Amino acid sequence: PPTDPFTDFNPLASQPPPQSKRPAAICPLVPRHDPRQAFLSEVLPTQLPSSWNNEIYDEYRTSLQDDLVATSTNKKYVIANLTTIAKENKAHHMEVVSAITIRLTETTDVNKLDIWCLIDNICKRVGGRYVQAFSERLILLMAYEMPNDDPKMCERFSKLMGTWHKVFPDRMEEVTARFSTPNLRHGLDAPPPKRPRLA
């Protein structure tokens, strides 16, 4: 019979072999060595469900990249249109949430407020699963992905945040304690280091 190396060389062969340390989970939506990987693996699925629709995810992400940018001339219309698409795809809400989250991590600070306005609009006008999904990720997203380099953007974000008491009632006590003015620009109590951004 074939030999068992563990039995042959371990005097405590009756005990099970030690378990190797499990590799860290990764987000399959970005490359393994992407500098955003550690953060995204905390806020996005590390295993895509069988119902995952890559076409919906890709199309929504492309729309974000092409239509909702800092130079867009009619952002209200773009946000309304993207909200409608999100509503039409409620059954695949995580594809939409994932596309929005990844866009937040790669866009410029100037454009972040636009993405947050989209999140706000989807949660208020569509609600349901989107509120739950963004509520679960709200603290981490705010800690890392608030627009915090421009005082005017900070002020506008603070006003937006002030409308969330009915949208994210279970999160607002913590949000207010950590992110309200004058602490808005400081994020978490112990601010995380600035993460590298992709161009």
Query: Is 170 a domain residue?
Result: yes
The Cα-based distances of 68 to 59, 76, 82, 111 in angstroms read: 13, 10, 9, 8
Query: Is 62 a domain residue?
Result: yes
- Residue 4: name the closest of 144, 14, 61 by CA: 14
Output the DSSP codes for 161-172: HTT-TTTSTTTH
Range of the domain at 104: 25-45+52-177
Query: Is 187 a domain residue?
Result: no
First to last CA, the chain: 58
- What amino acid is encoded at 174 in this protein? E
Per-residue pLDDT of the chain (199 residues; tens, 9 = 90+): 554 444 444 444 444 544 544 446 899 999 999 999 999 999 999 999 999 999 999 999 999 999 999 888 899 999 999 999 999 999 999 999 999 999 999 998 889 999 999 999 999 999 999 999 999 999 999 988 888 778 888 889 989 999 999 999 999 999 888 886 555 544 434 344 344 343 3
Contact 157, 113 (CB under 8 A): yes
Query: Is 17 a domain residue?
Result: no
Give the CATH number of the domain where residue 157 resides.
Answer: 1.25.40.90
Query: Is 14 a domain residue?
Result: no
Query: Is 116 a domain residue?
Result: yes
- Residue 177: name the closest of 143, 151, 153 by CA: 143
Query: Is 113 a domain residue?
Result: yes
Query: Is 7 a domain residue?
Result: no
Number of domains in the chain: 1
> pTM of this prediction?
0.79
